[in-house]
């Protein structure tokens, strides 16, 4: 379920963002705590072995190994590789959200352009919009694990009412090795053309607009399918994952606190707990975990897209728009500002501070000041001229 916290950060107040650090659902703590505990446990085990188990000669060898690992671990370009990877994944995640298939534009056109309040006209509009929803459902079944669990077979699609038994026979009789989400698009196009021939769509421009919107809807569906088909190159994902985990594997040995009496550079204190190494693990591995969660937003993570909700919402509002709301208009009345040339909606007392004067441009005050200065110069010049005339 998508975690929403926008209302909590609507205003930048004191400690407003800090309160978000205490949330668990959708947090980095929930995502990373297992790896964090494992890293801290392994570090503690190595530290105890070094301090309590190894002999003096073995300690000297371990100290040399620790210094060696610490020196060369910094040569792994973790920040550089991880930064580019997360940027790529986040851009890919947002583009998938932008291309989610919504039925609104099509349902507006169908409701306004497909005429007829009789039973056939109603059937025509509902069938058209059902084909639209069926197209998105077939795409979501192929990319979303949550939707696939809900509709694992075509039987479930028919049972849910997105497809009739007769349409299922036609659908299954089309022999194609490819994903057949395009079949409802063909049905939609043919049915819209038939409606134009029957006069239910009164203008060819209206038909063209409906088909153009359907093509745009199909493009959204195809884009999601393309993102599911062609992911981030596996090589890149492997390089980033290996870089991060190799770096922290080296840190398990290289960041150990060594015996201060040996005089190793940088080991003057023995703090037992590697605070900054743990913070570094939290930030870098948290960064990697964010990318792992966003790389496929159609899974079942906390912040993945609610594909099932989108299906339910699209079906409900689209059928409502083309059926019950078709040509069902409220009575027109004069608005409250009918004879008021200066319409100003009222403010509540809580919103009174947001009533501000209109912005007229950044140079408005400069022009006003220049006018005042010009008037002052004119008055001064007039006074000097009057004094000169009197002396003369």
Q: Are residues 223 and 254 both part of a single domain? A: no
Q: Are residues 203 and 266 both part of a single domain? A: no
**Whole-angstrom Cα Rg for the chain:** 34
Tokens for 312, please give them: 């339910």
3-state secondary structure of 384: helix
Find where tokens 């501070």 sit. Answer: 353
Please check whether residue 159 lies inside any domain of the structure: yes
Q: Are residues 218 and 119 both part of a single domain? A: yes
3-state secondary structure of 114: strand
**How far apart (Å, rounded) are the C-alpha atoms in residues 99 and 97?**
5
What letter would DSSP give residue 49? I
Tokens for 154, please give them: 């075509």
Q: Are residues 216 and 238 both part of a single domain? A: no
pTM of the model: 0.83
**How far apart (Å, rounded) are the C-alpha atoms in residues 153 and 165?**
13
Domain boundary, last residue among 199, 229, 259: 229
**How far apart (Å, rounded) are the C-alpha atoms in residues 245 and 120?**
64
Distances in whole angstroms, Cα of residue 93 to Cα of each of 88, 107, 194, 292: 9, 27, 39, 11
Output phi, psi for 114, to 5 deg. -90, 105
- Using 50 as the pLDDT threshold, list the residues of the chain that sit under it: 387, 389-392
**How far apart (Å, rounded) are the C-alpha atoms in residues 105 and 217?**
9
Please check whether residue 38 lies inside any domain of the structure: yes
Q: Are residues 257 and 293 both part of a single domain? A: yes
Domain boundary, last residue among 229, 257, 272: 229
- pLDDT the model gives residue 369: 65
**93 closest CA partner among 288, 374, 313, 294:** 294
Q: Are residues 140 and 289 both part of a single domain? A: no
- pLDDT the model gives residue 392: 46
- pLDDT the model gives residue 5: 65
Q: Are residues 187 and 123 both part of a single domain? A: yes
Q: Are residues 117 and 200 both part of a single domain? A: yes
Q: Are residues 132 and 163 both part of a single domain? A: yes
286-297: pLDDT as tens digits = 889 989 888 999
- The number of distinct structural domains making up the chain is 2
Domain range for residue 67? 23-99+232-306
* Size of the chain in residues: 392
**How far apart (Å, rounded) are the C-alpha atoms in residues 232 and 216?**
25
- pLDDT the model gives residue 102: 95
Please check whether residue 387 lies inside any domain of the structure: no
| CA angle, residues 356, 358, 363, in degrees to nearest 5 | 120
114 DSSP β-pair partners: 201
**How far apart (Å, rounded) are the C-alpha atoms in residues 290 and 77?**
19
**How far apart (Å, rounded) are the C-alpha atoms in residues 388 and 392?**
6
Please check whether residue 15 lies inside any domain of the structure: no
- pLDDT the model gives residue 390: 47
Q: Contact at 8 Å (CB) between 295 and 57?
A: no
**How far apart (Å, rounded) are the C-alpha atoms in residues 254 and 248?**
9
Element housing 12 (H / E):
none
Q: Are residues 70 and 118 both part of a single domain? A: no
Q: Are residues 222 and 139 both part of a single domain? A: yes
Distances in whole angstroms, Cα of residue 208 to Cα of each of 110, 166, 299: 12, 28, 36
Please check whether residue 170 lies inside any domain of the structure: yes
Please check whether residue 191 lies inside any domain of the structure: yes
Q: Are residues 127 and 37 both part of a single domain? A: no
Domain boundary, last residue among 202, 229, 256: 229
Please check whether residue 367 lies inside any domain of the structure: no
Distances in whole angstroms, Cα of residue 303 to Cα of each of 28, 184, 278: 11, 30, 25
Tokens for 134, please give them: 């069926």
Please check whether residue 81 lies inside any domain of the structure: yes
317-332: pLDDT as tens digits = 999 999 998 888 889 9
């Amino acid at each position: 379920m998508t975690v929403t916290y926008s209302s909590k950060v609507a205003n930048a107040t004191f400690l407003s963002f800090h309160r978000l650090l205490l949330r668990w659902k959708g947090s980095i703590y929930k995502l990373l705590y297992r790896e964090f505990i494992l890293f801290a446990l392994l570090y503690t085990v190595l530290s105890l072995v070094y301090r309590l188990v190894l002999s003096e000669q073995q300690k000297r060898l371990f100290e040399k190994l620790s210094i060696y690992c610490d020196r060369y671990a910094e040569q792994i370009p973790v920040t550089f590789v991880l930064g580019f990877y997360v940027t790529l994944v986040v851009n890919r995640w947002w583009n998938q959200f932008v291309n989610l298939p919504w039925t609104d534009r099509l349902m507006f056109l169908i409701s306004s352009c497909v005429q007829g309040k009789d039973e056939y006209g109603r059937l025509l509009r509902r069938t058209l919009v059902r084909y639209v929803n069926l197209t998105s459902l077939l795409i979501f079944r192929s990319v979303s694990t949550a939707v696939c669990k809900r509709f694992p077979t075509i039987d479930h699609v028919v049972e849910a009412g997105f497809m009739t038994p007769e349409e299922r026979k036609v659908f299954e009789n089309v022999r194609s090795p490819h994903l057949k989400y395009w079949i409802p698009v063909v049905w939609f196009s043919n049915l819209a053309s038939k409606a134009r021939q029957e006069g239910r769509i009164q203008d060819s421009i209206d038909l063209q607009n409906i088909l153009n919107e359907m093509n745009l809807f199909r493009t959204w569906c195809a884009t999601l399918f393309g993102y599911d088909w062609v992911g981030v190159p596996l090589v890149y994902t492997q390089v980033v994952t290996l870089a991060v985990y190799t770096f922290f594997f080296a840190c398990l040995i290289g960041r150990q606190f060594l015996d201060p009496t040996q005089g190793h550079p940088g080991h003057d204190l023995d703090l037992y707990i590697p605070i900054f190494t743990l913070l570094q693990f939290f930030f870098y591995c948290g960064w990697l975990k964010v990318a792992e969660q966003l790389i496929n937003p159609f899974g079942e993570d906390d912040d993945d897209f609610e594909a099932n909700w989108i299906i339910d919402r699209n079906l409900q509002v689209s059928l409502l728009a083309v059926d019950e709301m078709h040509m069902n208009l409220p009575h027109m009345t004069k608005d409250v500002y009918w004879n008021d040339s200066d319409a100003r909606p009222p403010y509540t007392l809580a919103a009174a501070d947001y009533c501000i004067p209109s912005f007229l441009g950044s140079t408005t005050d400069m022009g006003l000041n220049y006018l005042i200065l010009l008037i002052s110069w004119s008055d001064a010049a007039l006074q000097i001229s009057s004094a000169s005339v009197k002396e003369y």
